[in-house]
Amino acid sequence: MRKAEKTRRTTETEISLTLELDGSGTYCIDTGVGFLDHMLELFAKHGGFDLSVQCSGDTHVDGHHTVEDTGIVLGGAFGEALGDRRGIRRYGSVILPMDEALILAAVDLGGRAYLGFDAEFPAQMIGAFDTELVCEFMAAFTSQLGCSLHLRKLAGTNGHHIAEGIFKALARAMREAVEIDARGSDAIPSTKGIIG
């Protein structure tokens, strides 16, 4: 079973997270930031990952620490669940429509962290959620997982649809990248013999 359990405790947040890569898309998520909960539920469902996240954070300040730290813990959980990344496809990509929004996501689980994020939002806020936190989440996720991730808005005028498209596209790209490659014969997917 490719699973991980992670915790993170700081003066700003306390997070407990469990992840199963080969799941059915079930989730139980309560971060204290409603919009983040919604995005993580979409991520779990469309990625086929079983995901549980419980977070207590300083949301009386704002959502920044909760969103960033959740990205850190989720990225770390993927890294732990993947182990040495033996036998995986390694790469995943999708162009995903969400109504008028169109999002490109491409990921390489090659062990080196890089985020290319090109997605402007039409407004600073989606309800009580600051849209700049979408990029903050992705940066934290990418750095902890050790992956190259490119996210690009190709079209879109509705902030909710853009954010939803980004998380759904990430889910589908990750689903493809973590999948066991039937032709990989349990090999490390690199000519170097290691990932990193």
- Rounded to whole angstroms, the Cα distance separating 96 from 171 reads 10
Could you give the number of structural domains in the chain? 1
φ/ψ bin of 139: left (φ > 0), alpha (ψ from -120 to 50), beta (otherwise):
alpha
Asked whether residue 22 is assigned to any structural domain, the reply reads yes
- Rounded to whole angstroms, the Cα distance separating 112 from 147 reads 5
Structural domain of 22: 3-178
Asked whether residue 186 is assigned to any structural domain, the reply reads no
Asked whether residue 157 is assigned to any structural domain, the reply reads yes
Asked whether residue 30 is assigned to any structural domain, the reply reads yes
The H or E element containing residue 76 is helix 64-82
Asked whether residue 29 is assigned to any structural domain, the reply reads yes
So what's the pLDDT on residue 196? 78
Q: What is the pLDDT of residues 124-152, one digit of tens each?
A: 999 999 999 999 999 999 999 999 999 99
Do 188 and 84 contact (CB within 8 A), yes or no? Answer: yes
What is the rounded (10 degree) CA torsion for 89, 155, 44, 160? 160
What is the rounded (10 degree) CA torsion for 103, 106, 109, 115? -70
CATH number for the domain that contains residue 150 = 3.30.230.40
Asked whether residue 11 is assigned to any structural domain, the reply reads yes
Token code pair at residue 149: 């991730």
Asked whether residue 196 is assigned to any structural domain, the reply reads no
Q: What is the pLDDT of residues 84-111, one digit of tens each?
A: 999 999 999 999 999 999 999 999 999 9
So what's the pLDDT on residue 186? 83
Q: Is the pLDDT of residue 190 over 90?
A: no
Asked whether residue 52 is assigned to any structural domain, the reply reads yes
